[in-house]
Structure 1
Amino acid sequence: MAGGRALYAGSRVFQWLANFVGLPIDQLNFIISQSVMLLLAVLYRKVLRHQNVSVETRQIFTLSCGIALGYFCFGHQISHLCVQGTLAYIVMNNVNPEILHRRVLFISMLYLSSLHLLRLQYEFGGWTLDITGPVMIATQKVTSIAFSLHDGLTRPEDKLTVHQRKHIIKRIPTMLEFFSYIFHFQTLLCGPLVFYNDYIDFVKGTNPQVSKNPEEVFIESPPPKQVVRKLAGSIFFGLFLIFVVPFFPVNYLKDPKYLYETSWYGQLLYLVICTSFARCKYYHAWLLGEAVANASGLGFNGFTTDGKPKWDLVSNIDILKFELSLNVRDTVKTWNKSTQQWLKMIVYDRAPTHKTLLTFLLSALWHGFYPGYYFTFFGGALFTMAARSVRRSIRPYFQSSRQMAFVYDIITCLSTKVGLAYIVFPFVIVEFYASLQVYWNFYFIGHILSIIAIFLLPKVFPPPEGQSKSAREEMDKLIPTASEINRFFQSRKALN
C-alpha cells in the first residue's frame, strides 16, 4: 500500500524546487508557507491595524489566509479542520452548557484519534507533513472554548481558579469569531496554542488583562529584535536539522551494531546526543511560529516589573531553561508550555482525584497511539515521582553551604539530562519492540532506580520534618481503587 509522501495531499507546484534543494516536498511547502505567513504578519500589523479596519475585516483576513495556506500545505485534508470545528460548534449551540464541554472533548478527541489510527496504517513511524498536527492544535482550541463556555455559563466566578477566570466565555462565539480562531494563520501549522480570549482581545486591539480600562490598546509593534531573534533561532535549528542531525539518526538505536557491539556508556552517550538533536525540529517549528505571531502583533503579555513590554504570551519553549534545567520539574515546565496550560485547564484543575494520572492519560491520547509514546509517558510519570522523592530526601543534605548546593545542582542537571534521554527515546523511535530492546540492553536500570527512589529512599533517608508527603504516598494516590473505577463508570453512565 502506498504511504507517506506518495499520499501527500499538499501542493506539488514547487516539486522542481524540492528536487533542486534536496528537500521533501512537504517540508519545502511548510517552509514556504511559514515564510509567506511572516510577510502576511507584517502586512497585517502595518496595514490592518485595529484603528484602521473593523474587527470583522481582521478576522476575515486571518481566516482567509489560514484556509489558503492550509490548503497549499495539506490539500483536501484541510477539510478535517472544517468538519471537526463544525461538529464542535453544533454541540456548543445545541447541548446543555452543564455537559457541553464533555461532549466537545469526546467528539474532538474521537475525531483526532481516528486520524492518528489512520496514520498508523499508511505511514507507521513516518514524518510526512499531514493534517494531524493542525488537528491536534484545533482540538486544543475547540475544547478550551467549550470548557471556558461551560465555566462562563454555569459556574460562579468565585468557584473558578485564576486561570479559569481569565479564560471564561459568557456567550457562544459567532461563526466568524469561531472559525477565524480555528484557522487564523499565525499558529495554524505548528502552534503554539493561543486561547480564545487572547485571540479576540488581539483582533479587537484590547488587553483587559493588563489594565482596568478594557479599551486600552495593545502595543502592536514588538521590538524588532524580538522577531529577529526567534527567526534567527529557527533558521539556525533548521540548518542544524539539514547538515548535522542526519549524522546521528535515531533509527541507529535499532541497529544490531548499536545494540550488541557498542559499550553501555557508548550506547548511553549516543542516546543523549540523538534525542537532544531530535528536539531541533520542534525548536525550528515553534520558534518560527512564535516569530510569525509576534510579527503580526500577537503575543504581547503585559509589562515586566521595570515597565518593559513582555512578548511571551505565544510561547511554547524556553530553550536555554529547558536544556540547562536542574531537575525534572523545571524540564517539564519549559517544554510545550501551551499544551501544559491546556491540560491544566481542562484536566488537572478539574479532576477531583488522580489529577496526575488523568493528565498523563489525556496527553498520551492527544499525541496518538504509537507504543513508544506510552513508554515515554509512563516513564515520565515514574521519573517525576522519583525526582520528587530524591529532592525531599537527599537535597537537604546538600544545603549546608553554597558549594554543596552547587554540587547538588550539577549532579541533578547531569542526571536530568541522562534521565530525559532515557525517558524520551521511545517517543522518537515510536516502536514497541525497538524501545523494549534498548531498555533491555540497559536492564531497565532507570525504571529500577526510580522505583527504589520512590519506595525505599524515604525509609533509608527520611525527609526532614515539615516536608510534604512522600512520593510513595503520591504514587498510591495515582492508582484508582476498584470502587473508584466503578463510581467513574457509573457517573459516565448517568451522564449518557
Structure 2
Amino acid sequence: MGLAFQAPTDDILLQILRACVPKSFLHLAVFTPPRAAFPFALLFNYLCIVDSFSTRARYLFLLAGGGVLALATMGPYALLIFIPTLCAVALVSSRGPQDVHRLTFSFQMGWQTLCHLGLHYTDYYLQEPPPVRFYIALSSLMLLTQRVTSLSLDIREGKVEAASGSVRNSSLSECLSEALPYFSYLLFFPALLGGPLCSFQRFQACVERSSSSYSCISFCALTWRGLQIVGLECLKVMLRRVVSAGAGLDECQQLECISVMWSTAGLFKLTYYSHWIQDDSLIYAAGFGSEAGQRSGEEGHIPDVDMWTLETTHRISLFARQWNRSTARWLRRLIFQNSRRWPVLQTFAFSAWWHGLHPGQVFGFLCWSVMVEADYLIHTFANVSISSWPLRLLYRALTWAHTQLIIAYVMLAVEGRSLSSLCQLCCSYNSIFPGVYCVLLFLLQNGNVVSVHIHEKLLTEVIVAPKDQEEAQYSREDDCVSCEDQCASSPLNLWKEESNILLFTIYKFFRVSTLQHPPGPC
C-alpha cells in the first residue's frame, strides 16, 4: 500500500537494521509473515471441492480463521480490528446506499487515526518502543480500512446490493445470516495481514461458486512463486552484507550517503517484494487468485508487485502506479477520481494520513507528489525535444538512475518517520536529486523559453516538414497503467498520425497533463 509498512521483515534483518540504520526504521522489522496460515488456505480450497461444504460453512471457515489468526498474532490488540469491523457491518446493514460510504469512511478513518495517535504518544512522547502486536494490529487495521471503504463505495455505486432494507424488519438470526458475508469479507484470514485488495463482488463470487468450479491448485504456479521468494531472499542476504559492511545513514559523509541510501532502499524493496509474493501465494492457495470468481467485464486478480516494471522504469509516475498496485488503484478510486482540484496532491496527502502522519511520511508523500508533477512535464518536454536515438537512449538511462534515486529518497523519508531521521536525510547529498526535479518543474511551468521552444518545434515538425518525412521518430508514452513503460519509440509512416500525436502532446502539456495520469500512493 504505497509505502505501507505491512510488508514484514525477518528477525535477521531486524538485527542488521539496528546496526546500520536509524532506530526509527525498526517498525519495518517486527512482523512475521503468516506462513502458518498456508495449510489452512490449502485446506479451505480442498474443502470447497467437496460438495458437502456449503456456502455458509465456507463463510464461517474464513471468518473463524481470521478471528483465530488475529488473536494469535495481535493478542488483546485484536480488539482494534474487531470493534471497527462490528461497527462497519452495523452501518452497512442499517444505512442507505447514499449515506453508507460517508459514515463508514468517517468512522473508519477516525478510528484508525486514534490508533495512530496512540502510536505517536508511545513513540515520541513516552519514547518507548510500542509492542510488536500493536504494530501488527495497526497494519491489519490499514488493510481493513481498504476493504471497508471498497465495500461502501460498491454499495454507493450500486455494484453491491445493500442489506439495510431487509434487515430492519428481520429477526436477530436473520440479521446475522445477512451480515455473515460482510463479516467474513472484512476478516477472512488470507487477507487479514497482507495481500492485494479483493473487492466484495469477487470475494462473494469465489465463495459462492459451485464445487465443480473449483480446480486443484497449480503446484507449478506455487513452485514458481517459491523460487521467486528464494531468489529474493538470496539477494537480500548479499545486499545485507553490503549494508552491514558500510556506514549507517547517521554516519555517512558527503557522496557516501548516496550509496548508503541506494543500498538501504534496495534492502527495503527486496523485503517488500518477498513478502508481497508470499501474501499473493496465500491468496492463491485459498482459491482467490488468477481467474477465480472473475465475472465478465470484471477486473481479475491484481498482484501487488511487478518487479520488472518497478526496477526498469524511468517514470516516477509509473512507479507510483505500479508500487503496491491494488492500493494504488484503491487510492485512485477513493480520492483521485473524486477530487476536483489538485487531485495528485490530495491523493498523496490522504496516503500520508492513512499511513499515520509521521513527519517523515508527510514530507515523503508530499515530495513524491511534487516529483510526479515534475515527471509529467519533464517527459512531455523530452518527447517533443529529443528525436535522435542516441540522445533518447542517454536520456532514458539518466532518467532511470534519477528515478531510482528519487524513489530511494522518498522511501527512506517515509520509512524513517521521525523528525531526526528526516533532518539527516534532508541535510545529506541525497537531497540533490529531488532538488533537480523541483528546479525543472519550476522552469517548465514558468519559463517562457520552454514555451517558445515547443512552438518552434511544432512549427518545424508540423508545418514546415515535408509529408514524406518517414524517418522522423517519436516516443509516445502510453497512458495505460499496464503498459506505459513498455511502449518503445516506433516510426510513424503517415503524416496524419505524426501531426496528431505531436498536437496531442502539446495540448496535454499546456492543459491537462496532471489530470490524465492517476497517481499511486504511495
The question of a shared fold, defined as TM-score above 0.5 by the shorter chain, is answered with yes
Task: Provide the secondary structure at the position in 2 that maps to 1:98.
Answer: helix
Q: What one-letter code is carried by the residue in structure 2 that aligns with 1:284?
A: S
In 2, Cα distance between the equivalents of 1:412 and 1:318?
Answer: 20
Q: Which runs of 5+ in 2 are unaligned?
A: 1-10, 15-25, 165-177, 459-502, 517-522
Q: Displacement, 1:263?
A: 2.9
Corresponding residue for residue 347 of structure 1: 335
> What is the Cα deviation at residue 233 of structure 1?
2.7
For the Cα contact (< 8 Å) 1:70–1:78, is it kept in 2?
yes
> Aligned ranges for residues 77-96 of structure 1 at < 5 Å?
77-96=77-96
| Cα pair 2:377 2:441 within 8 Å, conserved | yes
TM-score by length of 1: 0.75
DSSP-derived class of the 2:357 partner: coil
Does 2:144 correspond to 1:146? Answer: no
Question: Shift of residue 392 of structure 1?
Answer: 1.1
What percent identity do the matched residue pairs reach? 18
CA distance, structure 1, for counterparts of residue 38 and residue 272 of structure 2:
18
For 1:195, the equivalent position in structure 2 comes to 199
Q: Does 1:226 align with 2:230?
A: no
TM-superposed CA distance for 1:285, in Å, is 2.0
The structure 2 residue matched to 1:432, chosen from 407, 410, 419, is 419
Equivalent residue in structure 2 for 1:30, among 4, 29, 32:
32
Is 1:394 the counterpart of 2:382? The answer is: yes
Q: Assess if the C-alpha contact under 8 Å between 1:202 and 1:218 holds in 2.
A: no
User: Cα offset for 1:135?
Assistant: 0.6
Residues 1:177 and 1:442: Cα distance change in structure 2 (over 3 Å): same
Q: Which residue of 2 aligns with 1:171?
A: 162
Q: 2:265 aligned to 275, 280, 283, which one?
A: 275
- How many angstroms apart in 2 are the aligned matches of 1:29 and 1:441? 30
**CA separation of 1:48 and 1:429: change in aligned 2, threshold 3 A:** same
Counterpart of 1:288 in structure 2 is 278
Counterpart position of 2:254: 263
Look up the SS of the partner of 2:291 in the other structure.
coil
Structure ranking higher on relative contact order (CA contacts 8 Å, 6+ apart): 2
SS at match of 2:194: coil
1:251 to 1:121, Cα distance in 2 relative to 1, 3 A? farther
In the TM superposition, what is the alpha-carbon distance from 1:72 to its structure 2 partner?
Answer: 0.9
Distance 1:201 1:349, change over 3 A: same
CA contact (8 A) 1:192 1:315 kept: yes
Give CA deviations for 1:166-217 in whole Å, capped at 9, x if unaligned.
Answer: xx112339321011111111111123221111111111127xxxxxxxxx97
- SS of 2:290's partner is coil
Q: Which residue of 2 aligns with 1:411?
A: 398
Could you say if the C-alpha distance between residues 391 and 147 of structure 1 is closer, same or farther in structure 2, counting changes exceeding 3 Å? same
Of the structure 1 ranges 334-343 and 280-289, higher mean CA displacement relative to structure 2 is found in 280-289
Is the alpha carbon distance of 1:284 and 1:443 closer, same or farther for their aligned partners in structure 2, counting shifts above 3 Å? closer
1:105-160 CA-to-partner distances (Å, cap 9, x unmatched) read: 110001111111112233468793420011100111111111111111xxxxxxxx
Structure 2 equivalent of residue 461 of structure 1: 450
- Of residues 454-463 and 233-242 in structure 1, the stretch that sits farther from structure 2 once superposed is 233-242
2:353 — aligned with what? 365
Which has the larger displacement, 339-348 or 135-144?
339-348
Supply the distance in 2 between the matched residues of 1:170 and 1:274 (Cα, whole angstroms). Answer: 47
Cross-structure match for 2:142: 136
CA shift digits 1:346-392 (9 cap, x unpaired): 22222333322221122111111211011110111111111111111
Q: Partner residue of 1:108?
A: 108
Structure 1 residue 49: Cα displacement = 2.2
Q: Which runs of 5+ in 1 are unaligned?
A: 1-14, 19-23, 153-167, 207-215, 305-310, 478-496
Matching residue within 181, 189, 192 for 2:185: 181
CA distance in 1, matches of 2:48, 2:201: 20
What residue number does 1:3 align with?
none
* In structure 1, distance between residues paired with 2:510 and 2:355: 27
The amino acid across from 1:357 in the alignment is L
Q: Is the 8 A contact 2:258 2:430 kept in 1?
A: no
8 A contact 1:347–1:359 mirrored in 2 = yes
Structure 2: distance between partners of 1:415 and 1:299 = 35
Number of aligned residue pairs: 419
How many Å separate the matches in 2 of 1:302 and 1:408? Answer: 42
Say which of 317, 320, 329 aligns to 1:332.
320
How far, CA to CA, are the matches of 1:242 and 1:190 in structure 2?
Answer: 23
Work out the CA distance in 1 between the residues paired with 2:515 and 2:317: 20
* SS of aligned partner of 2:376: helix
